[in-house]
Structure 1
Amino acid sequence: MGEWERDTVRREGRGGRGARGKGRGRRRAGAGETDTRGRILEVTLNLMRAKGYEATTVDDLCAAAGVTKGAFFHHFHSKEHLAREAANCFAEFAAGIFSSAPYTKLKDPLERFLGYIDFRREILQGPIEGFTCLLGTFVQETYHLHPALRALCHEHIWGHASTLVEDIRAAKEKYAPASEFDPEGLALHTQAVLQGAFILAKAQGSREPAVESLQHLRRYVELLFGVSATTSKEPSYVTGQDSGSGAS
């Protein structure tokens, strides 16, 4: 877990987005309660990405966080409640990373969209559970048994995809105005590729199939917008520096 993710957990422990609607009218939690809630959320992000929702027990979470079951149920009335809070925490963490990523500073909308794809490829580092998606893991396991959790994950996945729509629409107007594809559909397609790539990485025990999937996605987008192919490790999209290559 990175420092940004830990910071997000700390905010959630203090009653961030995941506590909305429940903290109103209640006294402010003390430092000890905040630390306990944050620790439980932190180990949840780690364990449930590694083991999944069903295989991770409350006993596992309590042992990893160093808390009693009484402390656990003081903050979360069920494992599903905790999973929903963890999903909110993960979504906030991801939003912070992508909203400040270097590619967002590029001037051209297609450069930014391609930069997003390159950035997604570049952050496929470390243990598989460290770069795969908690939301996708939840959906795959619980879509039928836990509809509230499924709906929340859908909201966050679509919410992330929607951040790409404006750039895709602007790039379509500039580079492919006669094309009939739907910008929202293409934004969702990127998430379908990513979630599938994560599954392949887990199946193979390696990041390589995920990296290759994102390289194919990049080539597809270049063809869709009718721009000449660029190198698969184009630095401008990752660093935020215009290099003069790529879309023009």
Structure 2
Amino acid sequence: MFNQGEIVHHTRDAIGSILVVDYRKHRVMTFNSIFEQSKIDRRHPHLPVHEYNRAMMLPAAFMTPQHVTVLGLGGGVMVTGFHHLLPECHIHAVELRQSVVDVAREYFSLPDSARVRVTVADAREALENMPSASTDFLLSDLYSHDRMSPTQAQKQFVDDCSRVLTDAGWLVLNYHRTPDPEGPYFQQLRQHFSVVLLLRTRSNNTVIYASKQGFDALSSKDPKLQALESHFPIGWRQLMTKVTRV
């Protein structure tokens, strides 16, 4: 994947390699594999490029969070996006690797802000230690160089996500493959959440949304989506047309 780009940074830690690759318009973080962990437009680093990252921000059309938790920092795309979109919101990111945090700060414009806190820890352990009802959005994007972390598929993980979310909060999960809608994972989600939605992206990622409160679906023509698009252009209306109930 690197033959058309320039490797501008390479480092290694105990887990493996981290590379930063520049293309004509974009900058990519990869863990030395074919998968892009993060991708930004270098002219507008606050705007996520990957459709699944954009889709993970969609609940900002459903409610205005005061606190957002992000599990799996990568280049900080979600953190940077919410920091720009929601000027009153506080954001807590959990990342396993200090070296990933360092690269996000130096090469991906991760905000140096009093509203942003980054914890270097295992996401599962950090989640267990979070206070109940302490966050409005919980976004999980836990991936290694070649696969999704099995943590995201565990019963205890879903239990803890439900516990730390406020009553009106939203859980957002990025899955490389869609779990069986009739299988045990979605059954577990339905035990905690009254609303479960999903959005399949062009790259075959599936973004799962879950909330304890009822949800009135937004029309793709809703003025709120247009207002969001004017401030933060990521195709809110098009994303909304892809959302389905499970």
TM-score (norm 2): 0.29
Higher-RCO chain (CA-CA 8 Å, sequence separation at least 6): 1
TM-score (norm 1): 0.29
Q: Which has the larger radius of gyration?
A: 1
Counting helix residues as a fraction of each chain, which structure ranks higher?
A: 1
